[in-house]
Protein backbone atom coordinates (compact mmCIF):
# COMPACT_ATOMS: atom_id res chain seq x y z
CA UNK A 1 0.00 0.00 0.00
CA UNK A 2 2.87 2.39 0.72
CA UNK A 3 4.20 2.13 -2.81
CA UNK A 4 0.82 2.86 -4.38
CA UNK A 5 -0.07 5.62 -1.93
CA UNK A 6 3.20 7.51 -1.85
CA UNK A 7 5.83 5.67 -3.84
CA UNK A 8 7.83 4.30 -0.91
CA UNK A 9 8.81 0.67 -0.40
CA UNK A 10 8.76 -0.27 3.29
CA UNK A 11 10.76 -3.48 2.78
CA UNK A 12 8.64 -5.31 5.38
CA UNK A 13 8.63 -8.53 3.38
CA UNK A 14 12.28 -8.48 2.32
CA UNK A 15 14.35 -11.30 3.76
CA UNK A 16 16.54 -10.12 6.60
CA UNK A 17 14.62 -6.88 7.22
CA UNK A 18 12.97 -7.72 10.52
CA UNK A 19 13.30 -4.26 12.01
CA UNK A 20 11.22 -1.77 10.07
CA UNK A 21 10.56 1.02 12.60
CA UNK A 22 7.24 2.14 11.10
CA UNK A 23 5.88 -1.43 10.94
CA UNK A 24 7.02 -2.24 14.49
CA UNK A 25 5.50 0.98 15.85
CA UNK A 26 2.27 0.38 13.95
CA UNK A 27 1.96 -3.19 15.25
CA UNK A 28 2.60 -2.18 18.87
CA UNK A 29 0.24 0.81 18.72
CA UNK A 30 -2.46 -1.37 17.20
CA UNK A 31 -1.99 -3.98 19.93
CA UNK A 32 -2.36 -1.37 22.68
CA UNK A 33 -5.45 0.16 21.07
CA UNK A 34 -7.09 -3.26 20.63
CA UNK A 35 -6.56 -3.94 24.34
CA UNK A 36 -8.19 -0.59 25.09
CA UNK A 37 -11.22 -1.62 23.05
CA UNK A 38 -11.49 -4.92 24.93
CA UNK A 39 -11.25 -3.29 28.38
CA UNK A 40 -13.92 -0.63 28.87
CA UNK A 41 -12.19 0.84 31.93
CA UNK A 42 -8.71 0.88 30.39
CA UNK A 43 -7.96 4.37 31.70
CA UNK A 44 -8.07 3.08 35.27
CA UNK A 45 -5.76 0.20 34.43
CA UNK A 46 -3.37 2.28 32.31
CA UNK A 47 -1.29 3.06 35.40
CA UNK A 48 -0.59 -0.66 35.82
CA UNK A 49 0.14 -1.46 32.17
CA UNK A 50 3.65 -0.27 31.23
CA UNK A 51 2.92 -0.73 27.53
CA UNK A 52 0.51 2.23 27.72
CA UNK A 53 3.53 4.48 28.16
CA UNK A 54 4.95 3.34 24.82
CA UNK A 55 1.92 4.36 22.75
CA UNK A 56 2.96 8.01 22.39
CA UNK A 57 6.44 6.93 21.24
CA UNK A 58 4.98 4.53 18.70
CA UNK A 59 2.69 7.21 17.31
CA UNK A 60 5.64 9.61 17.14
CA UNK A 61 7.65 7.04 15.14
CA UNK A 62 4.76 6.64 12.71
CA UNK A 63 4.37 10.41 12.27
CA UNK A 64 8.13 10.85 11.80
CA UNK A 65 8.00 8.30 9.00
CA UNK A 66 5.19 10.21 7.28
CA UNK A 67 7.01 13.52 7.73
CA UNK A 68 10.24 12.04 6.32
CA UNK A 69 8.41 10.77 3.23
CA UNK A 70 6.97 14.24 2.62
CA UNK A 71 10.30 16.01 3.17
CA UNK A 72 12.13 13.63 0.82
CA UNK A 73 9.46 14.18 -1.83
CA UNK A 74 9.68 17.96 -1.48
CA UNK A 75 13.49 17.78 -1.73
CA UNK A 76 13.46 15.75 -4.95
CA UNK A 77 10.16 16.21 -6.76
CA UNK A 78 9.62 14.06 -9.81
CA UNK A 79 6.99 15.28 -12.20
CA UNK A 80 6.36 11.83 -13.66
CA UNK A 81 5.20 10.29 -10.36
CA UNK A 82 1.60 9.14 -10.23
CA UNK A 83 1.18 8.01 -6.64
CA UNK A 84 -1.45 9.57 -4.39
CA UNK A 85 0.98 11.70 -2.39
CA UNK A 86 2.36 13.28 -5.58
CA UNK A 87 -1.15 13.99 -6.77
CA UNK A 88 -2.06 15.72 -3.50
CA UNK A 89 1.23 17.64 -3.46
CA UNK A 90 0.54 19.00 -6.94
CA UNK A 91 -2.99 20.18 -6.05
CA UNK A 92 -4.16 23.35 -4.33
CA UNK A 93 -6.66 23.81 -1.56
CA UNK A 94 -9.80 25.97 -1.85
CA UNK A 95 -7.72 29.11 -1.21
CA UNK A 96 -5.24 28.36 -3.99
CA UNK A 97 -2.44 27.29 -1.62
CA UNK A 98 -0.60 23.99 -1.62
CA UNK A 99 -1.51 21.52 1.12
CA UNK A 100 0.46 21.93 4.35
CA UNK A 101 2.91 19.31 5.59
CA UNK A 102 0.56 18.60 8.51
CA UNK A 103 -2.29 17.89 6.11
CA UNK A 104 -0.08 15.67 3.95
CA UNK A 105 1.23 13.89 7.05
CA UNK A 106 -2.33 13.10 8.12
CA UNK A 107 -3.05 11.90 4.60
CA UNK A 108 -0.07 9.51 4.62
CA UNK A 109 -1.05 8.20 8.06
CA UNK A 110 -4.66 7.66 7.00
CA UNK A 111 -3.65 5.69 3.94
CA UNK A 112 -1.23 3.54 5.92
CA UNK A 113 -3.71 2.81 8.68
CA UNK A 114 -6.67 2.24 6.36
CA UNK A 115 -4.78 0.23 3.79
CA UNK A 116 -2.43 -1.95 5.78
CA UNK A 117 -4.69 -4.38 7.58
CA UNK A 118 -7.67 -4.12 5.27
CA UNK A 119 -5.55 -5.35 2.37
CA UNK A 120 -4.14 -8.24 4.42
CA UNK A 121 -7.59 -9.18 5.70
CA UNK A 122 -9.12 -9.05 2.23
CA UNK A 123 -6.43 -11.33 0.82
CA UNK A 124 -6.75 -13.74 3.75
CA UNK A 125 -10.51 -14.02 3.38
CA UNK A 126 -10.24 -14.40 -0.38
CA UNK A 127 -7.76 -17.26 -0.05
CA UNK A 128 -9.86 -18.93 2.64
CA UNK A 129 -13.06 -18.63 0.60
CA UNK A 130 -11.31 -20.04 -2.47
CA UNK A 131 -10.08 -22.97 -0.39
CA UNK A 132 -13.68 -23.66 0.69
CA UNK A 133 -14.94 -23.66 -2.91
CA UNK A 134 -12.46 -25.61 -5.04
CA UNK A 135 -14.71 -25.40 -8.11
CA UNK A 136 -14.42 -21.63 -8.19
CA UNK A 137 -10.68 -21.79 -7.68
CA UNK A 138 -10.18 -23.48 -11.04
User: What is the distance of C-alpha 128 from the center of its chain?
Assistant: 25
Cα–Cα distances in Å, from 26 out to 38, 59, 60?
Answer: 18, 8, 10
Q: Say if CB 26 and CB 32 are below 8 A apart.
A: no
Structure confidence by residue, pLDDT tens digits, 79-116: 677 778 888 888 888 888 888 999 999 988 888 877 77
Residue 76's pLDDT band (boundaries 50, 70, 90)?
A: confident
Candidate from 65-69, 70-74, 96-100, 117-121 with smallest mean pLDDT: 117-121
**pTM of the full predicted structure?**
0.70
**83 closest CA partner among 5, 138, 2, 25:** 5
Candidate from 2-6, 38-42, 84-88, 129-133 with smallest mean pLDDT: 2-6
Amino acid sequence: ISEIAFGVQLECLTLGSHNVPFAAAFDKAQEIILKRIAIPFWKLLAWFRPEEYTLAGNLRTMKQFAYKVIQERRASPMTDRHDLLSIFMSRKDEFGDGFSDDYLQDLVMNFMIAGRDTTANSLSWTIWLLSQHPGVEE
